[in-house]
Structure 1
Amino acid sequence: MRTGEAVVGSLNDLAGRYPAFVERQSPKTRALASLPIFAAGHVQGGYALFYDTPQRFDHPQLAELEELGERLGADLRRVQRATTHASRSLEDEPVPHGAHAATYSVAADPRAVAHARHFMLSTLAAWGIDEDIVDIAILCLSELVTNAIIHTDSGCELRIVVDRGVLTTTVRDGGSRAVVDLGSVTVDPLAVHGRGLQLVDALSTRWGSELDAVGMTVWFVLEPV
C-alpha cells in the first residue's frame, strides 16, 4: 500500500505478480481491487475489496473506487483531528540527556528550503559532525522540507538531534487543505522532484512518517556520525 499503486483484476490476471497471495484466496473469490487511501496529500494505507463475481474494472468503476479512497481518507482526517491534541511543537519534544538538539521554523516559501539547508549545515558543523554525513543529511532534509512546502501553505518545523552518535532529523508540516488529484498520481507517488522519498529511503539508515491532527511528521536517521 505504501507505493500508492492500485492493484485490480481477476485472480487469474494477478496470479503472475502475486502467486502466493492468490493461492491463499477463497475459491469463491473471482476478482480483487486494492487501492490507496489518501489523506492530506499522503498515502496513509489502503483498502481491499474481494469480489465473488467477475469485474470489468472499466473507467467508471475505477473512478468510483478512487473516490471511495478519498472518502476514507477524509474520514481518517476527521477522526485524527477529533482525537489528537493540535498543539504539537518539535521544540517541546524531550531531548535525551547529553544530546545536541536544535529547532528551526521554515517559512511557507520555496526559497526557505535554502535557509533550512544553511541552518543544518552550520548547526552540524558547529557540533563537529563528519562532512560526509552532513552532505547526506542536507540532501535528505532538502527533499523533506521541499515536500512539506509544496503540500502545505503554512511552512514547517525542523529539529536536528545528535544523540550518542546517531543523527535524527524531523520535519513537521502545518497540515494541508489541498485536495489530492488522484488522476495525477504516478506509479510512484512518493517521488518528489524526481527523487523524493526514494532518495531518503536510499540514503538514510531508516525513516518514517506520521499523520496527525496537525499535519505530517517525517523523520530520518543517519548513523554512525
Structure 2
Amino acid sequence: MLTQLATNYLFAVVRGKDRQDGFKISEACSQGGIKNLEVTYTTPEAGKVIQDLREVLTDQKVVIGAGTILDDITARAAILSGAQFVVSPHFDLKIAKVCNRYAIPYLPGCGSVTEILQALESGVDVVKLFPGGLLGASFIKDVHGPIPHVEMMPSGGVSLDNLDRWLENGAWGVGVGSALTKGVATAGYQSVVTEAEKFVSRLKELQK
C-alpha cells in the first residue's frame, strides 16, 4: 500500500461541507488524476464518504484514506469504513497501535525531530510534516541529515508554485488541499478536476 501511495505521490486532502460535497470533491480529484484521496473527518459522515468512494472508484491505483483522525476510536471506525490509510495532525501512540493491528499505514503529523523519532519508534514508516507551509521544504533536507532513512510528506502550504521545491528536498509525497477546491464556490466541481489536472501535469513535468 505504501508503494502505491508513493507512486501516486499526490494526496488530495478533502474537506467537504457534507457527505455529498466530500464525495463530489473526491470524485473530481480522481477524475483529474489524483489517486490518493484523504477524506478528512471534519467532513460530516466522513466514514460514509469513504464507503461510497470504495464502492464507486474501482481503479486499483486509487487509494482512499481517512484524515484529521484525532483518536484511536475514530481510527478504528475509519478503518472499518474502508480507509486504506490513516492521517492525523499529530502523533498518537494509540492510533499507531490500532493501525498496526489492522495493517493500515499511519501517517502522523509531526513538526519536530523529537516527534518524528517518537513516530518511527512506534513503527510508523512515513510522517506527515504539518504544518508544511510553516516548516518549509528545506526542513526535509535538514532532517535527512541526522535521520536519512525517514520518509516525509508535507501537508498544508503545497502549491503549483512550490511543488518543485518539495520534490528537490526529497518529499516522499505531498498533501494538497485548498489549492484544489478554491474555485468550487464559483465554478463548481469541474474546477476541482481542472486544478487536479494541473498538479498531475506539473508533477509529470518535474519528474522527467
TM-score > 0.5 by shorter chain: no
Higher strand share: 1
TM-score, normalised via structure 2 length: 0.23
Higher helix share: 2
TM-score, normalised via structure 1 length: 0.22
Larger radius of gyration: 1
